[in-house]
C-alpha cells in the first residue's frame, strides 16, 4: 500500500463508486493466500486500495489508480492521466495490503499499459505489456521458506520473446537473470524451444499458443511440482526437504535480448499451501 | 537496441540521469528512482543497460550535479576532455522542457567502450542461460 497522501482524482472516483455488491474472484480461495496482484481488476472484496501506480511519458508524473465499483481498473481516469502519450506501470500493489507489491523503480524497465493514448489489453482488459528487458519483483527480504506452495498466473508469451518468466518458484539459489534450480510457471527460453517450466536447466514443454492468454498453475506439494497449462501437465520430482524461496516469486521478467512480439502479464496469486483441491476453481477465477 | 555501457557507478549514475527528468525535490517516496537498469558481468564489473533510442523529458529544474560528480574523476585522469561537464550542462540547459535521447548525450569514450548483448556474450562477460530441453520426466 502506498503511504497516505493527498486525495487524488482516482481516490475520489474510487470512493464515489465503491459499492457493497462487489464480490472478489478470489474471495472463496483465501486460505493460505500469500500473494495477489492484478493489473486490470480487484481480486478480493477485502482490498480497497489502488491496483497500480502509473508513470506517464508526458512529464513522468506518477499516480495511483483504483478500481471502479465493478472491480475493474478505472481506465477512463488512466487514459485521461496519460493524455495522448504512454503510461508505464511503476507498481502493481499487493491486494493483501501487506506491502509485498510488485515494483520497478527503474524507468526503462517498467512495462507499458498505455501506448500513445491507447490501452494495452489482454483478454480485452488492461495488461502490463513488455517493450524491452523488463521485470518486477517483490521487496527484498519478503522470503517464504517451505516446501509446499501453489502459484497461478494469467499472461501471454510473445513468439519472439527470449527468456521470459511470468512467475516462478525459486528452489534454493536465486540469480536475477537466470534461476538455477527453479521451476518457472511459464518460461520461453529461446526461439527454437518451447514454452514451459524449467528445473535446474531442464525444460518441460507444454503447449501454449504464442500471443494468446493462458492461465497457468504450478503446485509444489512437498515432493513434486506440477506445472499445468490448459489440459497439459508436467510433473518434476523434488526432494521433500527442498525449500521454496518466494522472495521474488511473482516476477514478471523478460531478459535481454528482447525481440519480436511482446508478452503480457495481467495477474497472479500465490499460496503457501497445496491448492490441488482448488486448483481448477482458482484457475477459473483468474479467467475473466 | 540496448548497449551495455561500463560504469562502476551504475546505480548513482542511473539515479542522477533520472534526476534530469524528475529532480529529487519533485519526486514522491514511491516514485521511480532510476533511469536505466544495470547488470554485473562475470568478472564482477557493472554495466548500465542503455536503450539507444530512450528519450526522457528534461525537467525545467533539472540539475547536472550528480552526473558531473561521476564524470569529474574521468576528466581529472585525462580520459575525458576538460570541457565535458561544461558541454553537458549547456546541453541540459538548452533542452529544459524538451526531450533528450540520453545515449546521444553520453561522452564518446563511453560509447566506444559500450557493447551489444552479443558482444558481451562473445567477450565472456555474459552467459547465455543454459536451459536445455528436458530429457527425463
- Please indicate, yes or no, if residue A3 is contained in any of the structural domains: no
- Please indicate, yes or no, if residue A123 is contained in any of the structural domains: yes
Which structural domain range is residue A31 located in?
Answer: 9-285
ipTM for the complex?
0.88
pLDDT score recorded for residue A37:
93
Query: Across the interface, which of B14, B133, B136 has its CB nearest the CB of A205?
Result: B133
Q: What is the pLDDT of residues A159-169, one digit of tens each?
A: 765 566 677 66
Query: Across the interface, which of A109, A203, A235 has its CB nearest the CB of B132?
Result: A203
Question: pTM of the prediction?
Answer: 0.87
pLDDT score recorded for residue A223:
82
**pLDDT over 90, % of chain A:** 40
Look at B36 and A203 and tell me if their CB atoms are within 8 Å. no
Q: How many domains does chain A have?
A: 1
pLDDT score recorded for residue B131:
41
C-alpha cell at B51: 536503450
Q: Is the pLDDT of residue B34 over 90?
A: yes
For A177, the closest chain B residue by CA position comes to B129
Look at A60 and B132 and tell me if their CB atoms are within 8 Å. no
> B83 to chain A, minimum CA–CA distance in Å?
29
Q: What is the pLDDT of residues A43-84, one digit of tens each?
A: 999 999 999 999 999 999 999 999 999 999 999 999 999 999
- Please indicate, yes or no, if residue A2 is contained in any of the structural domains: no
B11 and chain A in contact, CB less than 8 A: no
Give the Å distances, CA to CA, from A212 to A75, A122, A166, A186, A218: 22, 8, 14, 13, 19
Choose from B18, B36, B37, B46 for mutation: most chain A CBs within 10 A. Answer: B37
pLDDT score recorded for residue A13:
47
> A103 to chain B, minimum CA–CA distance in Å?
9
Chain B partners of A62 at a C-beta cutoff of 8 Å? 28, 30-32
Predicted confidence band of residue A245 (pLDDT cuts 50, 70, 90): low
Q: Residue range A138-153: average pLDDT?
A: 78
Look at B31 and A178 and tell me if their CB atoms are within 8 Å. no
Q: Residue range A15-32: average pLDDT?
A: 79
Considering only residues A273 and A166, tell me which one the structure prediction assigns the higher pLDDT: A273
Mean pLDDT of chain A: 79
Q: Residue range A96-117: average pLDDT?
A: 92
Query: Across the interface, which of B51, B57, B131 has its CB nearest the CB of A203?
Result: B131
Look at B28 and A5 and tell me if their CB atoms are within 8 Å. yes
Q: What is the pLDDT of residues B75-96, one digit of tens each?
A: 999 999 999 999 999 999 999 9
Predicted confidence band of residue B137 (pLDDT cuts 50, 70, 90): very low
φ, ψ of residue B127 to 5 degrees: the values are -105, 140
B34 and chain A in contact, CB less than 8 A: yes
pLDDT score recorded for residue B13:
94
Look at B32 and A105 and tell me if their CB atoms are within 8 Å. yes
pLDDT score recorded for residue A140:
67
- Please indicate, yes or no, if residue A57 is contained in any of the structural domains: yes
B56 and chain A in contact, CB less than 8 A: yes
Chain A interface with B: residues with Cβ < 8 Å: 2-3, 5, 53, 55, 57-60, 62, 90-91, 105-110, 132-133, 163, 176-178, 187, 189-190, 193-194, 198-199, 201-205, 234-236, 255-258
Residue A29, domain CATH: 2.60.120.200
- Please indicate, yes or no, if residue A4 is contained in any of the structural domains: no
Q: Is the pLDDT of residue B130 over 60?
A: no
**pLDDT over 70, % of chain B:** 93
pLDDT score recorded for residue A239:
66
> B89 to chain A, minimum CA–CA distance in Å?
21
Amino acid at each position: 500500500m502506498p503511504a497516505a497522501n493527498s486525495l487524488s482524482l482516482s481516490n475520489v472516483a474510487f470512493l464515489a463508486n465503491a459499492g457493497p455488491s462487489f464480490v472478489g474472484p478470489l474471495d472463496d480461495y483465501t486460505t493460505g493466500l500469500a500473494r495477489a496482484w492484478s493489473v486490470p481488476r480487484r481480486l478480493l472484496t477485502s482490498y480497497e486500495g489502488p491496483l497500480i501506480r502509473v508513470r506517464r511519458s508526458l512529464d513522468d508524473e506518477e499516480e495511483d489508480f483504483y478500481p471502479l465499483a465493478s472491480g475493474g481498473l478505472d481506465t477512463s481516469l488512466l487514459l485521461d492521466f496519460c493524455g495522448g502519450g504512454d503510461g508505464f506501470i511503476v507498481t502493481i500493489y499487493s491486494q493483501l495490503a501487506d506491502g509485498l507489491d510488485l515494483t520497478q523503480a527503474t524507468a526503462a524497465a517498467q512495462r507499458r499499459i498505455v501506448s500513445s493514448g491507447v490501452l494495452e489489453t489482454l483478454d480485452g482488459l488492461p495488461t502490463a505489456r513488455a517493450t524491452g528487458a523488463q521485470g518486477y519483483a517483490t521487496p527484498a527480504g519478503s522470503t517464504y521458506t517451505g516446501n509446499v506452495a501453489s502459484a497461478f498466473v494469467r499472461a501471454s508469451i510473445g513468439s519472439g520473446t527470449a527468456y521470459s518468466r511470468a512467475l516462478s518458484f525459486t528452489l534454493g539459489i536465486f540469480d536475477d537473470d537466470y534461476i538455477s534450480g527453479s521451476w518457472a510457471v511459464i518460461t520461453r527460453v529461446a526461439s527454437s524451444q518451447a514454452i514451459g517450466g524449467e528445473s535446474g536447466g531442464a525444460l518441460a514443454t507444454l503447449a501454449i499458443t504464442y500471443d494468446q492468454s493462458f492461465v497457468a498453475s504450478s503446485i509444489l506439494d512437498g515432493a513434486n511440482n506440477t506445472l499445468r497449462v490448459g489440459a497439459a501437465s508436467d510433473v518434476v520430482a523434488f526432494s521433500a526437504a527442498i525449500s521454496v524461496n518466494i522472495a521474488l516469486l511473482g516476477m514478471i521478467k523478460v531478459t535481454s535480448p528482447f525481440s519480436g512480439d511482446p508478452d503480457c502479464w495481467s495477474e497472479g496469486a500465490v499460496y503457501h499451501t497445496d491448492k490441488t483441491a482448488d486448483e481448477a476453481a482458482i484457475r477459473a477465477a483468474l479467467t475473466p | 537496441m540496448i548497449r551495455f555501457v561500463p560504469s562502476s557507478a551504475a546505480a548513482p549514475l542511473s539515479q542522477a540521469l533520472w534526476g534530469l527528468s524528475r529532480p529529487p525535490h519533485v519526486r514522491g517516496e514511491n516514485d521511480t528512482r532510476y533511469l536505466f537498469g544495470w547488470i554485473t558481468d562475470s568478472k564482477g564489473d557493472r554495466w548500465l543497460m542503455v536503450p539507444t533510442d530512450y528519450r526522457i523529458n528534461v525537467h525545467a529544474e533539472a540539475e547536472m550535479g550528480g552526473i558531473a560528480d561521476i564524470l569529474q574523476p574521468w576528466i581529472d585522469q585525462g580520459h575525458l576532455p576538460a570541457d565535458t561537464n561544461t558541454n553537458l550542462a549547456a546541453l541540459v540547459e538548452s533542452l529544459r522542457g524538451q526531450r533528450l535521447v540520453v545515449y546521444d548525450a553520453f561522452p564518446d569514450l563511453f560509447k566506444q567502450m559500450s557493447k551489444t548483448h552479443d558482444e558481451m556474450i562473445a567477450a565472456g562477460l555474459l552467459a547465455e542461460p543454459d536451459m536445455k530441453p528436458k530429457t527425463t520426466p
